[in-house]
């Protein structure tokens, strides 16, 4: 059953090639960059960032030497900004600890910041043709459905079981070909909500298909409960300048920029409630619509109070910049949406 599964997956891939910008490379730097970008990111979105990063930083040395704020700006729109910080740190690790050469063994790859078992397996197989099976969301889904495995994928037992199953299915002679094939299969055919079972070459032996339980796989034991947070951003404009600040606390969006913030509980604040807390003289006050951004464990609601101030009593960490320079700073998605609407002429 396993050998026929592997053969069918590879055969399907050969008949249904997927055009991707990294398909023809086995350069470890390129593969590592791709894998970090594609964590928590759709391929269609990540492809443009992959091309831009390679154009801006052709080598690992270029990436290691770049300022972190510049990396954040290039990463803007991808989310999960800790990936960008880890990317930069790992590039410096490779330059300083490995003389700029990518480590070619699994153990050393795991030493790199932000590289876990999946990424190390991807680099090992795609760059160095070593027999490591990748195990991402697509692979979990395909394996769990085909073999009817109902062990939760987010449990210790489940992770161990699926890794063993993935290893058994791997084409050890051509690990890169098989790994790419099964990921493409999950991404385009065996999709999460609307799998194309009628077109699937594996459906005749797929347990989930025959039990009519396709959408019940893969099984998860933990349900994510999102915490709601309410952000009131104060957009202070003084003549042709505007106030921003950098997030420094160990919280979401660390090191990104924002407008001065008042976080409230249960709801966003009214204009009068906000003005009572501010020590400035305002000419025109405009409150924005309510914006929303969903994160893995949080649901952030944000509104923006735009104030044209005659006098500013600056906060200790406030930075006053010319308005036209605002596009050079990196902001969270919810703030960029506001900027694109309020200051559209700058973008």
Q: What is the DSSP string of 208-223?
A: HHHTT-GGG-S--S-P
- Give whole-number Cα distances, 156 to 71, 163, 221, in Å: 34, 11, 11
Q: Which residues of 159-185 are buried (b: 16+ CB within 10 A; e: fewer)?
A: bebbbebbeebbbeebbbbbbbbbbbb
Domain ranges for the chain:
1-13+131-223, 27-128, 227-346
Per the CB < 8 A criterion, the answer to whether 308 and 235 are in contact is no
Mean pLDDT, consecutive 10-residue stretches, the chain (347 aa), reads 89 91 90 92 90 96 95 90 94 95 94 95 96 95 96 94 96 95 95 93 94 94 87 91 91 92 92 78 85 90 90 76 92 94 78
Instruction: Report which DSSP code applies to 203.
Output: G
Q: Tell me, yes or no, if 35 is annotated catalytic.
A: yes
Q: What is the pTM of this model?
A: 0.84
* Given the residues 14, 19, 24, 35, the one annotated as active site: 35
**Of 94, 217, 219, which is closest to residue 145 (Cα–Cα)?**
217
The DSSP line for 94-137 is HHHHSTTPPP-SHHHHTTSTT--HHHHHHHHHHHH--------H
Cβ neighbour number for residue 11 with a 10 Å cutoff: 12
Task: Tell me how far apart the alpha carbons of residues 201 and 12 are, in angstroms, rounded to a whole number.
Answer: 7
Q: DSSP secondary-structure letter at 230?
A: E
User: Architecture of domain 27-128 in CATH?
Assistant: Orthogonal Bundle (1.10)
Beta-bridged to residue 300, according to DSSP, are 229, 293
Domain 227-346 has CATH 3.90.79.10: yes
The CATH code of domain 1-13+131-223 reads 1.10.1670.10
Length of the chain: 347
What DSSP designation does 9 have?
A: H
Output DSSP code: residue 244: E
Q: What is the pLDDT of residue 280?
A: 66
Q: Which residues pair with 263 in a beta bridge?
A: 231
- How many CB atoms lie under 10 A from the CB of residue 105? 11
Q: Tell me what pLDDT residue 226 has.
A: 86
Rounded Cα distance between 232 and 69, Å, is 25
Q: Rounded CA gap, 111 and 115, in Å?
A: 7
Structure tokens at 129: 């043709």
What's the CA gap between 7 and 75, in Å, rounded? 38
Going by their DSSP bridges, the two strands 227-238 and 298-312 should be labelled as: parallel
Question: What tokens appear for 38 in the block?
Answer: 């594609």
Closest CA to 309 of 343, 273, 345, 280: 280
């Amino acid at each position: 059953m396993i050998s026929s599964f592997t053969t069918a997956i590879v055969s399907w891939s050969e008949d249904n090639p997927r055009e991707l910008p990294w398909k023809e490379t086995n350069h470890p730097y390129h593969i590592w960059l791709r894998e970090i970008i594609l964590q928590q990111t759709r391929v269609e979105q990540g492809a443009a960032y992959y091309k831009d990063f390679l154009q801006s930083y052709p080598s690992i040395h270029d990436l290691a030497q770049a300022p972190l704020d510049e990396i954040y700006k290039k990463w803007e729109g991808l989310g999960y900004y800790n990936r960008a910080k880890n990317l930069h740190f790992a590039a410096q690790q490779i330059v300083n600890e490995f003389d700029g050469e990518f480590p070619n063994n699994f153990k050393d790859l795991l030493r790199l910041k932000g590289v876990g078992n999946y990424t190390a397996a991807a680099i090992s197989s795609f760059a160095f043709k070593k027999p490591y099976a990748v195990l991402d969301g697509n692979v979990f889904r395909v394996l769990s459905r085909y073999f009817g495995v109902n062990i939760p994928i987010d449990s210790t037992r489940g992770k161990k079981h699926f890794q063993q199953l993935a290893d058994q299915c791997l084409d050890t002679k051509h690990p890169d070909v098989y790994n790419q094939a099964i990921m493409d299969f999950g991404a385009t055919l065996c999709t999460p909500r609307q799998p194309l079972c009628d077109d699937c070459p594996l459906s005749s032996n797929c347990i989930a298909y025959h039990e009519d339980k396709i959408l019940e796989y893969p099984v998860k034991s933990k349900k994510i409960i999102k915490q709601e947070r309410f952000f009131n951003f104060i957009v202070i404009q003084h003549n042709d300048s505007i106030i921003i600040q950098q997030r420094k606390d160990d919280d979401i969006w660390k090191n990104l920029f924002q407008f001065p913030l008042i976080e409230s509980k249960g709801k966003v604040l009214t204009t009068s409630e906000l003005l009572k807390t501010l020590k400035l003289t305002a000419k025109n006050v405009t409150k924005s619509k309510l914006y929303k951004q969903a994160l893995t464990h949080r649901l952030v609601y944000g509104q923006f109070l735009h104030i044209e101030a005659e006098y500013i009593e600056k906060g200790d960490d406030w930075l006053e910049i010319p308005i036209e320079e605002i596009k050079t700073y990196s902001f969270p998605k919810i703030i960029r949406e506001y900027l694109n609407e309020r200051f559209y002429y700058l973008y």
